Structures are given as C-alpha cells and as structure tokens.
Amino acid sequence: MKISQISKLSDISSKTIRYYEEIGLMPEPSRNANDYREYDKSAIDKLIFIRRCRELQIPLEQIKQLVLVQIDKTASCHEVDKIIEEQLMKVRKTRKELALLEKSLSLLSKSCQQDRVGDCEILHQLTSS
C-alpha cells in the first residue's frame, strides 16, 4: 500500500506518518522500484494504535514506550499500567484546574452590571492587584 492509502485507512495524514517515521515511532517502510513507500497491514494497525494513544493525549515519547513493550508478548504490563495511570492523573489535574477556571470566569461574568467600559467591574478586577 502507498502512503495515501494507509493515510486514509488510519485517518492520519501522510505528513504525520512521515514525521512518525522520522522520529522512530514508525519503522521506515520498504520502497518499491519507483522509490515510493510501501506499507503492509501491520503498519495500519500500528498507526491506528498510535492515533488512539494520541486521542488519549499520551505524549509521543510514552507512545514509543508502549510500542516497544509490545515486542515481548510475555513481558509484564507494569510499564503500560504506569503510563496510563500517569495520563489519568494528568487528566484529573486538568479537570480540577478547569473547574477553578470555570468558577473564576463565572464570578467575573456576574460581577459587572454596568453598560459602560469606564464602570466595568470585570475590567477593574482584571487590572487591579
């Protein structure tokens, strides 16, 4: 398969696939007689795996680790569990930060009853120390 085909099947752009090859996340594919990249079914599976990890906002370095641990099918899942747990902790922290942000914005949105910028309580609160 050519890169355009694998791009469509994996829902990852050709540019991103080449980038993944460049950083070592994907192996360099074989080349055919006219020097086009040639991919097999396993490349699609790997790209879908990578895309799903990215959807979970797992950093590329950790995705590399997840790809590597799959080589030894008898290895412990400890590394996989650790990566997922770390990502879960990041998500929980982000949720708390977003809840605080929402609360602050909500308070600000209710603080101004004026119709003139000169009397705007929101602007006043944002500029005062």
Q: Could you read off the pLDDT of 58-105 as tens digits, one per residue?
A: 999 999 999 999 988 898 899 999 999 999 999 999 999 999 999 999
Report yes or no on whether pTM surpasses 0.75. Answer: yes
pLDDT at position 53 over 90: yes
- 21 touches 28 (CB < 8 A): yes
pLDDT given at position 94? 97
Q: Which fold has domain 3-127?
A: Multidrug-efflux Transporter Regulator; Chain: A; Domain 2 (1.10.1660)
Task: Taking the CA atoms of 64, 66, 71 and 72 in sequence, report the sign of the dihedral they define.
Answer: positive
Model pLDDT, residue 116 = 83
Nearest Cα residue to 62 out of 79, 43, 37: 79
Q: What is the residue extent of each domain of the chain?
A: 3-127
* Exposed/middle/buried for residue 22 (C-beta within 10 Å: 0-12, 13-18, 19+): exposed
